[in-house]
């Protein structure tokens, strides 16, 4: 047994602080891109690799990290994640060149994969089932607080100290979490049995980044060879990986997990949630800036409505799921997301701020209602000795949903004649409506999956 239930709230403290730190990372670094681009002499387009390489590495390594944690122990893998994250953050802050920075960010991605794969497992193994939703809800609250605080802190740090400190600030923060974890996380762990199959691991490590990379280029046109070749190659490798898993005694991902209807439906519902969420996140800034001519600072302020409400609702939703079950909350939350996106699809050049905020509020409330109950159902449906794999699959659905959401929004917006980079015409507003409605349909599909899975 990897974790004991002696001091669960100590585990919650360590995991929540680590989650807050991880969530702040991305939004802070995004604000530093223009500054680091000028300093290192690279274009804005090239600087996006600073963000992208982290996600690609994490997407590739989450499942192996979960498998590793189930064997070596979740505490050990979690703490090593912060060792790598602190080291990589120092290397990022000292980077003398763009190539150095990209390699250091890849190392950050390795640490991030170890952290994300083990965080839900540590909580699930430490809390009894009747308190699991509350614990996961508090972790979700930490996530959304990090997303909301990151841009504000990042702006202050970049303006006052420079872009390098958006990385260096995580060195002492990671070391603090490491010390807390050494003293507060319960010891224990199992010895890893048969090592994972090298061929299957290689198929996953090549296939997932290729798929994600192709999806990330979808803004150039979903039918371009730049998109189709890596997506097709990645899918072939991932299909081969899945087929091989069923024949192995020691798979990277035990496909038997998906025999549980609750687990399978919860993973798909989570994927739909993140697709819908990132359709909104990719489209609404363009609408506010180019469609309405809103100043960038005000755009950021308006968009904080969504993560703020997600943070406000996530913890009560988790607590409530412990008492009434997760099914209705998860399904109702995604139905509210669908309604909010459909409402936002009616936005036009003359839409007032209250209508925009109402739609954002519906999406934020819906996501907040959905995430912790759904995560509780997913983690609760997996055996204790496979909690690392379950947590990794949960995190993988988030990253894949993010890339699919961006690809879906870009494809629909372009197919309906929309273009960015100029003041919007009526065609752009129609294209926006189509993109947001596609996100609403994804959320509705997730709501149906959450409802039809039955009671957890």
CA distance 284 to 344: 9
Query: Do residues 370 and 378 make contact, with C-beta atoms less than 8 angstroms apart?
Result: no
pLDDT at 401: 92
How buried is residue 90: exposed, middle or buried, by Cβ count under 10 Å (0-12/13-18/19+)? middle
Cα dihedral 408→414→420→422 (10° resolution):
-160
Instruction: Indicate the length of the chain as a whole number.
Output: 456
pLDDT at 192: 55
CA distance 187 to 127: 15
pLDDT at 190: 56
pLDDT at 293: 84
| Segment-wise mean pLDDT, segments of 10 residues, the chain, 456 residues | 63 91 79 81 78 89 89 90 95 92 94 92 89 90 85 80 89 92 78 68 89 81 82 92 81 86 95 94 85 79 86 91 91 96 88 90 95 93 88 91 88 83 82 93 96 76
Residue 348 — φ and ψ, nearest 5°?
-140, -175
Sequence-distant (≥ 6) Cβ neighbours of residue 160 within 8 angstroms: none
pLDDT at 2: 46
Closest by Cα among 338, 405, 342, 387 to 365: 338
C-alpha to C-alpha distances, 217 to 9, 239, 263, 364, 434, nearest whole angstrom:
42, 22, 31, 27, 20
């Amino acid at each position: 047994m990897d974790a004991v239930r002696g001091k669960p709230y100590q585990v919650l403290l360590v995991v929540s602080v680590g989650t807050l730190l991880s969530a702040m990372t991305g939004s802070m670094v995004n604000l530093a891109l223009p500054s680091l681009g000028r300093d290192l002499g690279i274009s804005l387009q090239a600087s996006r690799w600073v963000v992208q390489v982290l996600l690609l590495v994490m997407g590739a390594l989450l499942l192996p990290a979960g498998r590793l944690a189930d064997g070596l122990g979740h505490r050990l893998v979690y703490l090593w994640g912060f060792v790598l994250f602190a080291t990589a953050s120092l290397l990022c802050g000292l980077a003398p060149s763009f190539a150095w920075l990209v390699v250091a960010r890849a190392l950050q991605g390795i640490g991030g994969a170890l952290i994300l794969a083990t965080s839900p497992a540590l909580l699930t193994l430490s809390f009894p089932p009747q308190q699991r939703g509350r614990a996961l809800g508090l972790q979700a609250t930490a996530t959304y607080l990090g997303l909301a605080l990151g841009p504000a802190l990042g702006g202050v740090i970049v303006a006052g100290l420079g872009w390098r400190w958006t990385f260096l600030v995580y060195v002492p923060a990671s070391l603090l979490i490491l010390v807390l974890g050494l003293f507060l996380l319960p010891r224990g762990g199992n010895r890893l049995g048969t090592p994972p199959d090298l061929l299957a691991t290689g198929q996953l490590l090549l296939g997932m980044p290729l798929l994600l990379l192709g999806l990330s280029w979808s803004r150039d046109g979903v039918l371009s060879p730049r998109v189709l070749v890596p997506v097709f190659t990645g899918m072939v490798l991932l299909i081969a990986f899945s087929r091989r898993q069923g024949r192995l005694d020691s798979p990277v991902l035990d496909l038997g997990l998906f025999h549980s209807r609750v687990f399978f439906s919860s993973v798909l519902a989570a994927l739909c949630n993140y697709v819908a969420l990132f359709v909104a996140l990719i489209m609404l800034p363009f609408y506010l800036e180019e469609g309405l001519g809103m100043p960038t600072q005000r755009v950021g302020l308006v968009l904080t409505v969504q993560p703020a409400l997600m943070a406000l609702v996530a913890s009560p939703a988790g607590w409530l799921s412990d008492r009434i079950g997760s099914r209705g909350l998860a399904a109702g939350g995604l139905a509210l997301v669908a309604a909010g996106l459909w409402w936002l699809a009616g936005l036009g050049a003359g839409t007032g701020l209250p209508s925009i905020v109402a739609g954002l509020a519906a999406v934020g409330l819906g996501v907040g209602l959905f995430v912790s109950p759904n995560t509780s159902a997913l983690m609760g449906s997996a055996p204790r000795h496979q909690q690392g794999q379950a947590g990794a699959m949960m995190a993988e659905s988030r990253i894949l949903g993010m890339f699919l959401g961006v690809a879906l929004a870009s494809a629909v917006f372009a197919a309906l004649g929309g273009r960015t980079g100029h003041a919007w015409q009526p065609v752009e507003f129609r294209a926006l409506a189509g993109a947001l409605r596609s996100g609403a349909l994804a959320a509705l599909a997730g709501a149906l999956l959450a409802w039809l899975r039955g009671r957890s």
